[in-house]
Structure 1
Amino acid sequence: MIYPENFESKIGFDKIRQQLVAKCLSPLGEEKVEEMNFSANYTDITAALSQTEEFIRIIQEEDSFPTNYFIDVRYSLRNIRVEGTWIDESALFNLRCSLQTIRDIVAFLKKEEEENTPYPFLFALAGEVVVFPQLISKIDNILDKFGRIKDNASPELGRIRKDIARISGGISKSLNSILRAAQSEGLVEKDVAPTMRDGRLVIPVAPAFKRKIKGIVHDESATGKTVFIEPAEVVEANNQIRELEGDERREIVKILIAFTDILRPLVPDILQSYEFLAMIDFIRAKAIFAIDLNAIKPTLEDKQIIRWYRAKHPLLFISHRKQNKEIVPLDIELEEENRLLIISGPNAGGKSVCLKTVGLLQFMVQCGLPIPLAENSIVGIFDNIFIDIGDEQSIENDLSTYSSHLTNMKYFVRNCDNKTILLIDEFGGGTEPQIGGAIAESLLKRFNQRGAFGVITTHYQNLKHFANENKGVINGAMLYDRHLMQPLFTLAIGNPGSSFAIEIARKIGLPEDVIADASEIVGSDYINMDKYLQDIVRDKRYWETKRQNIRQKEKKMEELTSSYESDLLAIDKQRKEIVRQAKAEAERIVAEANAKIENTIRTIRESQAEKEKTKQVRQQLNEFRSSLDKEEVTDDKIARKIEKLKEKEKNKKKKEKREEVHKQPTIAIGDNVRIKGQTSIGQVIDIQKETASIAFGMIKSTAKLDSLEYVSKNQAKQNFKSKVVGAAVSDDMREKKLNFKQDIDVRGMRGDEALQAVMYFIDDAILVGMSRVRILHGTGTGALRQIIRDYLRTVSGVKNYQDEHVQFGGTGITVIDLE
Structure 2
Amino acid sequence: MANHCLSPLGREKVEKMQFSSSFEEIDLQLSQTDEFVHILQEEENFPADNFYDVRPVLHRIRVAGSWMDQNALSELHKSLQTISSIVTFFKRGEEETKRYPHLTSLAKDVFVSPEINRRAERIIDEFGQIRDHASPQLSTIRREITSTLNGISRSLNSILRKAQAEGFVDKDITPSMRDGRLVIPVNPAFKRKIRGIVHDESASGRTVYIEPSEVVEANNRIRELESEERREIIRILTEFTEYIRPLLPDLLRSYDFLAQIDFIRAKARFALQINGLKPNFEDRLVIDWVEAVHPLLFLALQKQNRKVVPLDITLEGNNRILVISGPNAGGKSVCLKTVGLLQYMVQCGLLVPLRENSRMGLFNDIFIDIGDEQSIENDLSTYSSHLQNMKFFLKNCTHRSLLLIDEFGSGTEPQIGAALAESLLDRFNRKNAFGVITTHYQNLKHFANENEGVINGAMLYDRHEMQPLFQLSIGNPGSSFAVEIARKIGLPDDVIAQASEIVGSDYINMDKYLQDISRDRRYWERKREEVRRERNRLNEISEKYQSELEEIDRKRKEILAQAKLQAEQLIAESNAKIESTIRQIREAQADKERTKLVRKSLTEFKESITDLSEAHHDLKPLQKKSRQKPVTPHQPATPKRAIAVGDTVRMKGQTVAGEVLEIQGKRATVAFGVIKSTVDLEKLERAKGSQQAREQKSSNTRDLLHERKLSFRQDIDVRGMRGDEALQAVMYFIDDAIQLNVSRVRILHGTGTGALRQIIRDYLKTVQGVSHFQDEHVQFGGAGITVVDLD
With normalisation by structure 1, the TM-score equals 0.69
1:697-717 deviation line (CA, Å, top 9, x unaligned): xxxxxxxxxxxxxxxxxxxxx
**Aligned counterparts, 1:209-288, within 5 A:** 209-222=190-203, 224-288=205-269
2:443 counterpart of 1:462: yes
2:121 counterpart of 1:160: no
Change in CA separation of 1:343 and 1:129 when aligned onto 2, cut-off 3 Å: same
Q: Which residue of 332, 339, 359 maps to 1:358?
A: 339
> CA shift at 1:466, angstroms?
0.7
SS in 2 for 1:117: helix
| 2:515 aligned partner | 534
Change in CA separation of 1:580 and 1:284 when aligned onto 2, cut-off 3 Å: farther
| 1:305 aligned partner | 286
CA distance in 2, matches of 1:583, 1:278: 74
Q: Which residue of 45, 49, 58 maps to 1:64?
A: 45
Change in CA separation of 1:225 and 1:154 when aligned onto 2, cut-off 3 Å: same
Change in CA separation of 1:215 and 1:562 when aligned onto 2, cut-off 3 Å: farther
CA distance in 2, matches of 1:335, 1:263: 56
2:128 counterpart of 1:147: yes
Change in CA separation of 1:627 and 1:132 when aligned onto 2, cut-off 3 Å: farther
CA contact (8 A) 2:368 2:404 kept: yes
CA contact (8 A) 1:578 1:638 kept: no
Change in CA separation of 1:257 and 1:568 when aligned onto 2, cut-off 3 Å: farther
> Higher mean Cα deviation, 218-227 or 527-536?
218-227
**Aligned counterparts, 1:446-525, within 5 A:** 446-525=427-506
Opposite residue 234 of structure 1, the aligned amino acid is: V
Q: Which residue of 277, 283, 288 maps to 1:296?
A: 277
Opposite residue 481 of structure 1, the aligned amino acid is: D
> Higher mean Cα deviation, 331-340 or 413-422?
413-422
| 1:26 aligned partner | 7
Opposite residue 29 of structure 1, the aligned amino acid is: G
CA distance in 2, matches of 1:194, 1:303: 80
> CA shift at 1:626, angstroms?
7.1
**Aligned counterparts, 1:56-455, within 5 A:** 56-113=37-94, 116-222=97-203, 224-455=205-436
CA distance in 2, matches of 1:620, 1:30: 99
CA contact (8 A) 1:344 1:496 kept: yes
> CA shift at 1:560, angstroms?
4.7
CA contact (8 A) 1:114 1:120 kept: no
CA contact (8 A) 2:276 2:354 kept: yes
Change in CA separation of 1:238 and 1:576 when aligned onto 2, cut-off 3 Å: farther
CA distance in 2, matches of 1:576, 1:226: 107
CA contact (8 A) 2:616 2:622 kept: no
Opposite residue 82 of structure 1, the aligned amino acid is: V
CA distance in 2, matches of 1:556, 1:370: 35
Change in CA separation of 1:63 and 1:638 when aligned onto 2, cut-off 3 Å: farther
Change in CA separation of 1:232 and 1:513 when aligned onto 2, cut-off 3 Å: same
Opposite residue 471 of structure 2, the aligned amino acid is: T
**Aligned counterparts, 1:536-615, within 5 A:** 536-562=517-543
SS in 1 for 2:449: helix
CA distance in 2, matches of 1:130, 1:474: 55
1:269-310 deviation line (CA, Å, top 9, x unaligned): 100111100000000000000000011111111111111111
1:729-780 deviation line (CA, Å, top 9, x unaligned): xxxxxxxxxxxxxxxxxxxxxxxxxxxxxxxxxxxxxxxxxxxxxxxxxxxx
1:287-339 deviation line (CA, Å, top 9, x unaligned): 00000001111111111111111111111111111111111111111111211
Opposite residue 465 of structure 1, the aligned amino acid is: H
1:255-278 deviation line (CA, Å, top 9, x unaligned): 111111111010111001111000
CA distance in 2, matches of 1:498, 1:506: 15
CA contact (8 A) 1:114 1:123 kept: no
1:654-683 deviation line (CA, Å, top 9, x unaligned): xxxxxxxxxxxxxxxxxxxxxxxxxxxxxx
> Higher mean Cα deviation, 499-508 or 530-539?
499-508
> CA shift at 1:373, angstroms?
0.8
Change in CA separation of 1:115 and 1:79 when aligned onto 2, cut-off 3 Å: closer
CA distance in 1, matches of 2:334, 2:261: 33
SS in 2 for 1:203: strand
Opposite residue 269 of structure 2, the aligned amino acid is: I
Change in CA separation of 1:171 and 1:498 when aligned onto 2, cut-off 3 Å: same
CA distance in 2, matches of 1:249, 1:621: 115
CA contact (8 A) 2:563 2:616 kept: no
> CA shift at 1:23, angstroms?
0.9
Structure 1, unaligned runs of 5 or more: 1-19, 640-819
SS in 2 for 1:484: coil
CA contact (8 A) 2:175 2:182 kept: yes
Opposite residue 320 of structure 1, the aligned amino acid is: L
Opposite residue 393 of structure 1, the aligned amino acid is: Q
CA distance in 2, matches of 1:263, 1:59: 34
| 2:30 aligned partner | 49
Opposite residue 284 of structure 1, the aligned amino acid is: R
CA distance in 2, matches of 1:562, 1:25: 52
CA distance in 2, matches of 1:29, 1:629: 83
Change in CA separation of 1:620 and 1:477 when aligned onto 2, cut-off 3 Å: same
Opposite residue 452 of structure 2, the aligned amino acid is: K
CA contact (8 A) 1:340 1:473 kept: yes
Change in CA separation of 1:221 and 1:455 when aligned onto 2, cut-off 3 Å: same
Opposite residue 160 of structure 2, the aligned amino acid is: L
> CA shift at 1:183, angstroms?
3.9
Change in CA separation of 1:178 and 1:589 when aligned onto 2, cut-off 3 Å: farther
Change in CA separation of 1:174 and 1:317 when aligned onto 2, cut-off 3 Å: same
CA distance in 1, matches of 2:202, 2:467: 72
CA contact (8 A) 2:90 2:97 kept: no
CA distance in 2, matches of 1:247, 1:581: 98
CA contact (8 A) 1:575 1:638 kept: no
CA distance in 2, matches of 1:123, 1:217: 67
> CA shift at 1:48, angstroms?
0.5
Structure 2, unaligned runs of 5 or more: 624-791
Change in CA separation of 1:263 and 1:581 when aligned onto 2, cut-off 3 Å: farther
1:594-630 deviation line (CA, Å, top 9, x unaligned): 9x99xxx9xx99xxx9899999799899979978996
With normalisation by structure 2, the TM-score equals 0.71
CA contact (8 A) 2:559 2:619 kept: no
SS in 1 for 2:244: helix
> CA shift at 1:561, angstroms?
4.4
CA contact (8 A) 1:579 1:633 kept: no
Superposed CA RMSD in Å reads 3.5
